[in-house]
Structure 1
Amino acid sequence: MASLNVGNLGEYLREQRRTAQLSLRQLADAAGVSNPYLSQIERGLRKPSAEVLQQVAKALRISAETLYVRAGILDEKAQDELETRAVVLADPSINERQKQVLLQIYDSFRKENAAEAAAAAAEAAAPRPADAPDAEEPLTP
């Protein structure tokens, strides 16, 4: 887990609030937090909980995961996975069984790719004997 980056989060929240054309007080009311507390978050003086970030995200109509990444609570790879899952689950053109099967396939591909990457990393890190020929060099009698 990354360290909290509340300054970056505060700037981002202020930008999103202004884009939504909300005053600090309006956003605080919509998110169910106090005006001074929200002001302190925007100025990078407070570290909000994941619950508060979720409430603010809902009030701004943005992804809570985006705020988690900005706050350092969630890394970007995890956000990408969550967004992929959310898109699949929100698709009205496929039924629930199809959604679950698709997510199972997605998980199996991710596990397979992670295992291949780990094996490649282990192979690259393994010491090679000095007299062993390189894999790319043909053996000569």
Structure 2
Amino acid sequence: MNIGKRIRELRQANNLKVVELAKKSHISQPYLSDIEKGRTTPSLDKLTSICEALNISLGEFFEQPSDLPSDLLQFLEAAKSLTKEERQAVIHMIKTLKG
């Protein structure tokens, strides 16, 4: 898994800029940028801080495949707050759109 790529995807899915996530994570913007670009790997403590800023657990960080496009990740993040009935309605709408 590419940790930096995963962080970038989750950051984008949460509509956060690098500077915003860095501030929420209590790390410097250049350091976060280096992580996202694969120039460095975060310590477990730093990764935990990043996950907390993204409102996810370390388990959730590692469970989703990182090859999903950022817009699909954003869709999934938004869907988490829906009720079961609302998710079913969205699924029905998507199936209707696909014909």
TM-score over 0.5 for the pair: yes
Structure 1 residue 28 displacement after superposition: 0.1
Structure 1 residue 63 displacement after superposition: 1.4
Q: Which residue of 2 aligns with 1:28?
A: 22
Equivalence map 1:114-125=2 (5 Å): none
Q: Which runs of 5 or more structure 2 residues have no equivalent in the other structure?
A: 64-99
Equivalence map 1:56-135=2 (5 Å): 56-67=50-61, 69=62
Q: Which residue of 2 aligns with 1:9?
A: 3
Partner Cα separation in structure 1 for residue 28 and residue 55 of structure 2: 19
Could you tell me which amino acid in structure 1 is paired with residue 24 of structure 2? A
Could you tell me which amino acid in structure 1 is paired with residue 46 of structure 2? V
Question: Contact 2:3–2:41 at 8 Å: present in 1 too?
Answer: no
Q: Which of the pair has more CA radius of gyration?
A: 1
Q: Which runs of 5 or more structure 1 residues have no equivalent in the other structure?
A: 71-141
**Structure with larger RCO (C-alpha < 8 A, sep 6+):** 2
- Measured on the aligned residues, the alpha-carbon RMSD in Å equals 1.5
Partner Cα separation in structure 1 for residue 45 and residue 32 of structure 2: 13
Regions of 4+ moved over 2 Å:
none
Secondary structure of the residue aligned to 1:55 is helix
Count residues in correspondence: 63
TM-score (norm 1): 0.42
Deviates more, 1:28-37 or 1:55-64: 55-64
